[in-house]
Chains A and B, each alone.
Chain A
């Protein structure tokens, strides 16, 4: 068993960059960082609920589901904008 699943560049996204040879460059994405923490929090919350009452699937609060959906929507929006349109500062040049 190698014991490894590569997590390199987990927080890095691609964005359009006319100055780059490939047309894209990497950047540290705030959307990915917040998605990471929200995902871990929801996963932890869910598992704790199951451990405390392991007789049925727990019901998540609507606020938490909304936060998770919002977080993922923010991540996807940021990714779409970076990959299809480029950085915001370039849009207003």
Chain B
């Protein structure tokens, strides 16, 4: 019961934080629209919108990272996948997807920092992410197919009375 109350309180705090982030972004956008650079109203509106979205995106990212850091968002089982046998170990397909996502993300960050410009996303990047994501998708498909045959009791081996998960 106490855990449920704690969870509700944490969620409430998170919602309030998101609300504050939105209000802050809107306030900054309005401030820039009034006093920011730009020769005409259209230019000012564009700059205000860009800054507003930038601050909103930064605040959302920051809040999610903070929630992960304090434990409100629990990612300890992010790699876990329940198998048909009931085992819930880490999944290799999830692991490799996580690794490649971080590698591409970090590369992107390094290139933007060093070049100061948005890099061209090459075919190699898409191939790498494509292989990785396809592997994850096919792995999930195999898992689902296995559960289906297991649930029918026709092709799962054993006595046909196995629990379906």
Contacts and interface: CB of A to CB of B under 8 A. Distances in A.
Interface residues of A, number: 51
Task: Say which size band chain B's interface belongs to.
Answer: 35 or more
Contacts of B128: 42, 46, 60, 65, 68
B145 A40 contact: no
B119 A56 contact: yes
Contacts of B92: 10-11, 32, 35-36, 75
B64 interface: no
Contact of A14 (B70, B79, B85, B158): B85
A9 B85 contact: no
Nearest to B156: A23
B84 A47 contact: no
A23 B150 contact: yes
A86 B2 CA distance: 45
A65 B130 CA distance: 11
Q: Which of B87, B125, B139 has the most CB of A within 10 A?
A: B87
B77 to A, nearest CB: 6
Interface string B35-77: 0000000000000000000000000000000001111001111
Contacts of B91: 10
Given A6-B77, A72-B135, A76-B139, A57 B121 contact: yes
B14 to A, nearest CB: 16
Contacts of A25: 85
B16 interface: no
